[in-house]
């Protein structure tokens, strides 16, 4: 039989609006180009949650031995993160559930530190939309901070998604899940040492004139 054992993967491409996707992708490439040429700062934002249910899929184990990982219910650490195109990382943690008010507070705090025109790339989650967001966007734009929304069903365009995956599947170790305090400490080590010890090598943008909007 012509079959192979393969992992199933989530596929959202059929749900995309093709025209809207291409327009947004082209605009995002323009923002990446402007960031690479030093004309703006560009950050990718998103939320992630961490608990004592491990995501560690692989590890070095002696032959004939097993390495069970205890899965526990308990507290959860929720994080809103901002990752720039040059690997600057900002994280904001919350013990309880995240809501729009908390994310707005995070963006407010971030807006006070910008020194040049800055864009935050976000998805269309309910945490990022609504009446308060529309009001705050006007305030932020007066400070030089702008929000760019990705096309729907396009998580692959958000660079910070790759960062969360690296944290959960590669950088956290089995022993980091022994307690919520151990997990919190491990996350803090990763977050604070990211630029020096845990860098991500994103593919360089190849500037194609067909993918750059006219911004002059």
Q: What is the pLDDT along the chain (216 residues), one digit of tens a residue?
A: 566 655 555 545 555 578 888 899 899 999 999 998 999 999 999 999 999 888 765 666 667 666 555 556 668 899 999 999 988 999 999 878 899 999 999 999 999 999 999 999 999 999 999 889 999 999 999 999 999 999 988 888 899 999 999 999 889 988 898 889 999 999 999 999 988 877 777 654 444 545 445 444
Quote the pLDDT of residue 53. Answer: 83
Token output for 134: 């529309």
Contact 53, 72 (CB under 8 A): yes
Quote the pLDDT of residue 197. Answer: 76
- Return phi, psi of residue 27, to 5°: -65, -40
Strands, sheet with 41-50, edge to edge from the N-terminal-most edge strand: 89-94, 77-84, 41-50, 118-122, 145-149
- Return phi, psi of residue 26, to 5°: -65, -40
Cα–Cα distances in angstroms (integers) from residue 28 to residues 4, 10, 25, 40, 212, in the given order: 37, 23, 5, 13, 9
What is the C-alpha separation between 7 and 181, in angstroms, rounded?
33
Token output for 107: 């963006």
- Tell me which residue of 140, 85, 136, 75 sits closest to 112, measured CA to CA: 140
Q: What is the DSSP letter of 64?
A: T
Phi and psi based region of residue 128 (left: phi greater than 0; alpha: psi -120 to 50; beta: remaining): alpha
pTM given for the model = 0.82
Domains and CATH numbers, the chain: 16-52+75-195 (3.30.420.10)
Q: Which residue bears the tokens 């004592």?
A: 52
What is the C-alpha separation between 104 and 157, in angstroms, rounded?
22
- Tell me which residue of 89, 99, 117, 102 sits closest to 196, measured CA to CA: 89
Quote the pLDDT of residue 206. Answer: 45
């Amino acid at each position: 039989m012509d079959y192979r054992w393969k992992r199933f993967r989530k596929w959202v491409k059929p749900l995309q609006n093709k025209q809207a996707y291409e327009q947004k992708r082209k605009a995002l490439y323009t923002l990446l180009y402007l960031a690479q040429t030093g004309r703006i700062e560009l950050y990718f934002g998103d939320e992630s949650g961490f608990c004592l249910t491990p995501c560690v899929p692989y590890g070095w184990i002696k032959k004939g031995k097993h390495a069970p990982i205890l899965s526990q219910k308990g507290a959860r650490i929720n994080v809103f993160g901002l990752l720039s195109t040059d690997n600057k990382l900002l994280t904001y943690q919350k013990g309880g559930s995240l809501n729009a008010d908390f994310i707005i507070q995070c963006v407010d705090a971030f807006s006070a530190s910008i020194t040049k025109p800055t864009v935050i790339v976000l998805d269309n989650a309910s945490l990022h939309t609504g009446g308060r967001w529309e009001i705050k966007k006007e305030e932020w734009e007066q400070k030089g901070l702008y929000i760019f929304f990705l096309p729907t069903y396009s998580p692959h365009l958000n660079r910070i998604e790759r960062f969360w995956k690296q944290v959960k599947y590669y950088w956290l170790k089995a022993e980091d899940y022994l307690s919520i305090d151990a997990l919190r400490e491990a996350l803090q080590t990763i977050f604070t040492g990211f630029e020096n010890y845990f860098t991500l090598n994103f593919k360089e943008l190849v500037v194609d004139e067909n993918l750059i909007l006219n911004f002059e």
